[in-house]
Structure formats: C-alpha cells, structure tokens
A and B are shown apart, each in its own frame.
Chain A
Amino acid sequence: MIEMSVARVANVRLTGIAAAVPEQVFGLEQLSSEFGERDAQKINDLTGIRRRHITDANICTSDLCYAAALQLLSDLECNVATIDVLVMVTQTPDYILPATSCALHGRLNLPKSCSAFDLNLGCSGYVYGLWVVSQLLASGHLKRALLLVGDTISKLASPQDRSVAPLFGDAGTATLLEYDPSAAEMVFVMGTDGSGESHLIVPAGGFRNPRSSSTSERTAREGGNLRSDEDLYMNGNEIFAFTLREVPTMLESLLEAAGWSKDTPDAYVFHQANRFMLEHLSKRMKLPTDRVLYALQEFGNTSSASIPLTLVDQPPSSLKDGTSKLVLAGFGVGFSWAGVTLTCTSPKISNLVYLQHRNSEVST
C-alpha cells in the first residue's frame, strides 16, 4: 500500500554532530531595502525567518564543513587516521570535479585507506546521508565514518527574486558515526517523485543547458521577480502541495515501521523550509508541537544542513544527558524525501562554529 522503501539498520551509533555558519548576518533590513518594508515584514511573519547567515564569495560549502569537522574531531578527540569513510552531501560543490569529498579528504589529512564520495541531494540529503553511511558501517568491516553535509544555497538565489531570496542561508555540518553492536536500530523511510524535477531547479549551468550569455541574464519573471536561468527557481505552491501529499504519509509509515507512537520521540526535527508549512504539518498530523524543533528563525532554510544545524543550535535536553529518541525528516528538491527514527545515547553536540567573513578564521 505504501509506496516507500523501509530500511532497518542495526549496529551503528551516532557519536557526535557539529555545525558551522558564516558570521555575516542578513536580517529584516536587507529584505526591506530590496522588497519594501511591508512585504519584508509579511515574508518574515510567514516564513518565521528573522535572520540568515550568509557567506561571502570566499567561503564555500567545503570551508563550512571543514570548520565543523575540525570542531567535532577535536571535541571527540578523534584520531583522523581511524576514519574509514567520508561521505559528503551537497548541491553546491567547490568544483564540477573533483568531488568535494576528495578535496576535504586532503584538507582533513584522512588516510589513503579512507574512501570518499559525494551525494547530490538537498532537503532530504542529511537523512539519505545517514542511511548510506550507516549501511556502510553496519556490517562491521568499516568502523568509523564522517558525514559532511552542507550547502551555500544563498549563492544560487537571485537577490531580486522574492520567492527565494528571503529564505536561504548557508551552513556546513559534520556528523561522526561508528560501528557499535550495542546501538539501537535505526529505521529509515525513503521516497522519490521525479515528476517534481522542474519545481525546484537551477535550470542552467549543468550540461543540459550550459552557461551562456543568455543564461546569465536576469529577466522579469512571474510576480515581477528578476531571475536568470542560472539562478534557483522555486514554485512554492508546488512544494507546499508536494509536502502535504507526501510528508504525513512518510511520517505515519516511519512511526509505524519503528513501532513508535507520536508521543515516543523526544523531538521532531524537520527540514527547516518555512515555519508556516511546518506548523501546518505538525498541527494537521497532531504531533506534540512543543517537541517540533525550529532553528530557521536564526538561519533560514540551509538546505541539506538544516536538520543537523537545528540539532546543534536547539539540542533537546534529552540529547545532552542520556538517551534521546528523535524523528528526523527531510523533504524537497527532487522531489525527494526521507525520514529516520534515531535513538542516540549521549552524542557529543559541539558548540556552533562561526566562520569569519573574508579571512575564514574559525571562532566558537
């Protein structure tokens, strides 16, 4: 009946999470100067996004993930020589090639025995990353994996397009997972609807529509928005309709597959798209709304990074001491969606790292 795959993974423990954001902050003032005070306020009220951390041209996804990884490895006193696999999830890589995971493998001084590869997913990417990495570790042949997940989506948004410019922020995260036969089982539910391809897309700049002088030209589009084909396009109505169609079913199947009730999780952490949508979803599904976590007020929609960033910024108290049961769910670009029930025992949650503007020095 349910058109989604269910995967169960045992023997894998989530050991710690860190996140890094650029220090530079855009708030209501920047929105007002672009779209006028009234619209800026309305956008703020609907999305719940008050501020966003935005990179400058010198900071890439890899820099944010690198800073997060250094913090996490240092906090965990983890020897990099013991890392067997590095998986990077991003849609804003440093280069077309090589893979950002390979570049970070070098910068982190990981051993040559460590495998490294990229996954190209956005909103659902963190949960997909957890699934892939935990499957790799589950057999016990590989013991330790670093999952780096982040995006600088703000660089793809036309500043003159109100359907995207006010929403996106930048962040990079690092998660360490380890083989551990005593770890509780993780249950994953995944799905894809590729018919949603055109609703959240950067149409040009790949090989279907290579860059040209015409693809870089910003022209007037629907609602007076200015955008080029190299900029991010989002059809908000389609995304909302897709979310209403698929996410409740995903969450119901996930809880059922895990044998959890709606009251079992200590926290629900959803992809931080916008507050209006998440509140509607939580209300409609009759979730315990005080356990639904939000970090978008401070960071906006940070694409693949939003779930781990929320856990770092707003860690549920149960996560700090003892065992915590979490539901994580990402959904969007693709369309692609994935959810997991995760039982964590005292993972290390690093302090949020702020990457300074321009000179890329790290401070916490």
Chain B
Amino acid sequence: MTKEVFLQLLDELLELEPGTLTGNENLKDYEIWDSMTVLGFIALVDEHFGFTVSTERLAQAKTVDDLVALLDGRVSYK
C-alpha cells in the first residue's frame, strides 16, 4: 500500500474528505481523534496490514506521520 492510500484510509477514519491529510497534521487538532477512534485505527491496521500496532508507540503518536511510522515501512512512498 502506498502512503497516499493509507492517508485516504485515515481521512475516512477521521471523517475528512479524501485527500485531506498529508502527514504533518497534529492529531490533537482533530476532536474526533478520541479513544474510540483510536480503536478504529487499531482495527484498520489489523484489517489492511494483518498485524497489531504497538500500543505503547501508538500512545506516543502526536502527528499523522507518527501513525504512518507505526507501520514500520509497510507503506511505500512510490
């Protein structure tokens, strides 16, 4: 999966128009990024990448790029 496609999945999770997120956004600026949406993120990664993200690292994530980094290179940058 490319980073672009992954960002679109995050757009959908955060109820944004496709193509909104670019990576440097702060998660705390999105009111919808709460404990329930975080569960949705864990499910999204499990569904599309087949693994469970590190909950410690997820708790530290501050930006959208931090979420991308949790995938440990499973997304390509073209």
Contacts and interface: CB of A to CB of B under 8 A. Distances in A.
Contacts of B47: 280, 283-284
B46 to A, nearest CB: 5
Contact of B55 (A42, A163, A237, A280): A237
A1 interface: no
B55 A241 contact: yes
A112 interface: no
B36 to A, nearest CB: 5
A237 B36 contact: no
Chain A interface extent, by class: 10 to 19
Nearest to A225: B35
Interface string A219-259: 00001000000000001111011001100000000000000
Contact of A43 (B36, B43, B46, B58): B36
Given A42-B36, A236-B35, A244 B42 contact: yes
Contacts of A223: 34-35
Contacts, number: 40
B38 interface: yes
A260 interface: no
A276 interface: yes
A46 interface: yes
Interface string A156-200: 000000110000000000000000000000000000000000000
A261 B23 CA distance: 43
A171 to B, nearest CB: 25
Interface centre among B36, B52, B58 (most CB of A within 10 A): B36
Contact of B46 (A46, A235, A237, A244): A244
Given A276-B43, A280-B43, A280-B47, A241 B52 contact: yes
A42 B31 CA distance: 13
B39 A237 contact: yes
A216 to B, nearest CB: 25
5 contacts: A235-B55, A237-B35, A244-B42, A276-B39, A277-B39
Contacts of A245: 52
A356 B58 CA distance: 45
Top 9 A-B pairs, shortest CB-CB distance: A244-B52, A237-B55, A280-B43, A241-B52, A46-B36, A241-B55, A244-B46, A238-B55, A240-B42
A277 B42 CA distance: 10
B35 A284 contact: no
A162 B36 CA distance: 11
A240 B54 CA distance: 11
A245 B50 CA distance: 10
Contact of A46 (B39, B52, B53): B39
